[in-house]
Structure 1
Amino acid sequence: MRVRIFLITVTLLLCQRLLAKSHTDSTRYPAGHKYIKIIGRTDRSNTAGPRFWASGVYMTIRFKGSYCVLEIKDEEKWGKSHNYLHIIVDNSTPVRMQTTDSLNRIVLASGLSDGEHEIVVCKDTEASIGFLQPTAVICPQLLPVRKVPKRKIEFIGNSITCGMGNYDAAIKCGSGEWYDQHSAYMAYGPQSARLLNAQWHLTSESGIGLIKSCCDKKNIMPQIFDKTNIATEGIAWDFKQYQPDVVTVCLGQNDGIQDSAAFCSAYVNFLQTIRRQYRRAEIILLTSPMGDKPLDSTLRRYITAVEQNLHQLGDKRINHYFFQNRYIGGCSYHPNLQEHTAMAAELSAYIRKRMRW
């Protein structure tokens, strides 16, 4: 399977600069076209095209014809960072690739039948790697996306939710850049959403905590929850754009074991902030899948206390799910792909039962 994915990826990279020139029936559609569906926190104020930073933001393109090309800009942060993408054509085996320049022309598909097709393009890397800005889609005929799931989920968390360290098929752990093993598309959140036929948003960043972040990170989640780019305190996010049915919160790994009063008080305040934005959402508090026994035990106690406190205050739509195992088989003791799949199976089963989906 890895060999096949590698060969497909190489083929895409080799032909991406050649394909569009060979077609005379091409139409260039702006990336902001109403037929192109982008799900995730997106800034649409730039006339060149929509920009998005967050892990897991995905666009769906439906078209008629044998090929489709995407023109996309990478922020190319620090002059060298390049985002990874997952590309899925007609629900086939996902292909992962990386941008190579600030301006990229990517052949999403070629040699297809002349019928109708659908492609999903998902940002695998997180906000701190920089934004992606699709500028155009080139294909014979763009079509409206046929059906978008009505169910909506938002996954709030840290590097685990981003999918850090879960994908080492191309570059092994400990090699390359720190983000080379990111795959948000295959993280537990998007996998859970797909199992539940739901849309997803990931509001997550590596190193982030509830009251204390790691790795010299200045911000904590409550400070950036309302931002379009959660790596900074910049553009405000309009919560009316996406009202989830379910919100999961997976924080605490980077905080470590903190004073119970300080942690629980901050957690209650943060959940009340979430509730002000999402009046009807079911909010599910999660333990850390990476947590060792002392941290896991502590988080279980703190989460239980927070849940009980909010129930007493009248919010009965806050509940919890405690992961059954510790998942540390990936890079830097993060969950690997198989473990993210197991986590998604656990969590989606709980959500399905809780929501009667």
Structure 2
Amino acid sequence: MSTKKCCLGIVAIYIVCAGCFVAKPASAQAYRLPAAAFHPFGRSIINEQHNLELISSACQVGFRYTGTKFQLTVSIPSWMHHNYLQYELDGVYQKRIRVDSALKEPIEITAPTAGAHTIWIYKATEAHTGAIILHAASAQDIQALQRPAAPLIEFIGNSITCGAAADASEVPCGAGPYHNQHNAYMAYGPRVARALGVNYIMSSVSGIGIYRNWNSDNPIMLQVYENTDFQVQSQHRWNFSTYTPQIVSIALGTNDFSDGDGKTPRKPFDSATYVLKYIQFIQLVKTKYPTAQIALLSSGMLHDKKREQLQNCLTTVKEKIDALYPSAKPVALHFFQPMYAKGCTGHPSVEDHEVLAKELIPFYRKLLSN
């Protein structure tokens, strides 16, 4: 069997093929790292086939290697048609990569020059889009990287936090499935983290709210936060000891205020229920991260009366949480400037996320220094 055919078999039957690469001279050895040797950052699992499933938005893996060629053996669940990765090479963002269900060969990324390189691979889409399954990575002198030690921010939120509907540069708005315009790397949270030199994880679900969702009453974030993939019926519970964020940033409210699709019955916004459920959710978060600073963000997508009402609710939540936890750091609030978003279906575009991030950087910088 040729080397190429052997490698193709990895994707088809999920078997580690130890001889997939022809031996190289000692000065330029090729190595193949199985997924179990990776160091993922973000919500992920090692599945029964010993492959790595990237689950949460911007969940990432990094590698150091030499030469111009880097290969990543990857697949998606059988029920999916396609999904998206994106990558950063030598500290510079490159592009999204479409992963199709029919993919049979490893994804190959070519560096412009030989020598040493660093690459970080990110899941461009959110947890509800489905996992992206990594089987192996191959390159000369390859090493799996861990994220450098740094403070950590967890960004909890909805489609805005996901970077959903933000990037129509490749697929126009409205064309194909919802996740075609996802770009988690360019969302406000990762932008803030990169600007401040800190690590981040993203816990976000499109359409979700504090006491009701965009067009339904449940499941709300309180019901799914403890599940690895944010699915209410999930069998996988997330291990919260994996990370210890210094700041937990929560941006939930846009969908609670939504008028829905205009067809499904929807009651007027209930501020008392919103405040009650928000308090309950923060209490849940505090059971996971007792020492984390809680930061609450409003929504730049809301205007006029809705904007004012959300800000009043968040102020009440802060007052009640501060009273319940007098020895903890006070809850921090940030109220966004109103924005008329230019992305798909009223979402912030990639350029809008840059505006949001610039507004937020001083806020988080101050919290990190406390």
The 1-side partners of 2:101 and 2:127 are apart by 17
| Count of residues in correspondence between the two structures | 333
| Match runs of 1:55-66 below 5 Å | 55-66=57-68
Aligned-pair identity (%): 31
Q: Does 2:348 correspond to 1:345? A: no
Of the three residues 328, 347, 356, the one matched with 1:334 is 347
The 1-side partners of 2:111 and 2:135 are apart by 20
Secondary structure, counterpart of 1:180 in structure 2: helix
Larger radius of gyration: 2
The 2-side partners of 1:208 and 1:312 are apart by 27
Change (3 A) 1:317 1:233: farther
TM-superposed deviation, 1:65: 2.7
Q: Does 2:248 correspond to 1:247? A: yes
The 2-side partners of 1:271 and 1:29 are apart by 40
The 2-side partners of 1:138 and 1:312 are apart by 54
Name 2:150's counterpart in structure 1: 150
Change (3 A) 1:142 1:218: same
| Match runs of 1:108-147 below 5 Å | 108-110=109-111, 112-113=113-114, 115-145=115-145
Of the three residues 27, 30, 40, the one matched with 1:26 is 30
Write out per-residue CA displacement over residues 99-134 of structure 1, whole angstroms, 9 at most, x where no aligned residue: 012655111334531x22110111111122211111
The 2-side partners of 1:23 and 1:185 are apart by 36
Which residues of structure 1 form unaligned runs of 5+? Answer: 1-19
TM-superposed deviation, 1:271: 0.5
Write out per-residue CA displacement over residues 130-187 of structure 1, whole angstroms, 9 at most, x where no aligned residue: 1111110011112253761411111000100111111011111122222111101100
Of the three residues 299, 304, 315, the one matched with 1:288 is 299
Change (3 A) 1:151 1:229: same
Q: Does 2:184 correspond to 1:173? A: no
The 1-side partners of 2:198 and 2:341 are apart by 27
The 2-side partners of 1:45 and 1:317 are apart by 40
TM-superposed deviation, 1:325: 2.6
Of the three residues 266, 269, 274, the one matched with 2:285 is 274
Change (3 A) 1:126 1:304: same
Name 1:71's counterpart in structure 2: 73
Check whether the contact 2:302–2:338 (CA below 8 A) recurs between aligned residues.
no
Aligned letter for 1:130?
Answer: G
Alignment RMSD (CA, Å): 2.1
Name 1:163's counterpart in structure 2: 163
Name 2:52's counterpart in structure 1: 50
After the TM superposition, which parts of structure 1 deviate over 3 Å for at least 4 consecutive aligned residues? 20-25, 215-218
Secondary structure, counterpart of 1:84 in structure 2: strand
Secondary structure, counterpart of 1:94 in structure 2: strand
Which residues of structure 2 form unaligned runs of 5+? Answer: 1-19, 258-267
TM-score by length of 2: 0.85
The 2-side partners of 1:74 and 1:139 are apart by 22
The 1-side partners of 2:362 and 2:167 are apart by 24
TM-superposed deviation, 1:32: 1.7
Change (3 A) 1:195 1:108: same
TM-superposed deviation, 1:96: 1.2
TM-superposed deviation, 1:296: 1.2
TM-score by length of 1: 0.87
TM-superposed deviation, 1:41: 0.8
Change (3 A) 1:147 1:353: same
The 1-side partners of 2:136 and 2:45 are apart by 16
Change (3 A) 1:60 1:260: same
Aligned letter for 1:163?
Answer: G
Change (3 A) 1:75 1:220: same
The answer to which of 278-287 and 253-262 deviates more is 253-262
TM-superposed deviation, 1:64: 2.5
Check whether the contact 2:87–2:94 (CA below 8 A) recurs between aligned residues.
yes
TM-superposed deviation, 1:196: 1.2
Aligned letter for 2:271?
Answer: S
Check whether the contact 2:61–2:145 (CA below 8 A) recurs between aligned residues.
no
Name 2:5's counterpart in structure 1: none
The 1-side partners of 2:215 and 2:170 are apart by 26
Check whether the contact 2:39–2:145 (CA below 8 A) recurs between aligned residues.
yes
The 1-side partners of 2:177 and 2:344 are apart by 12
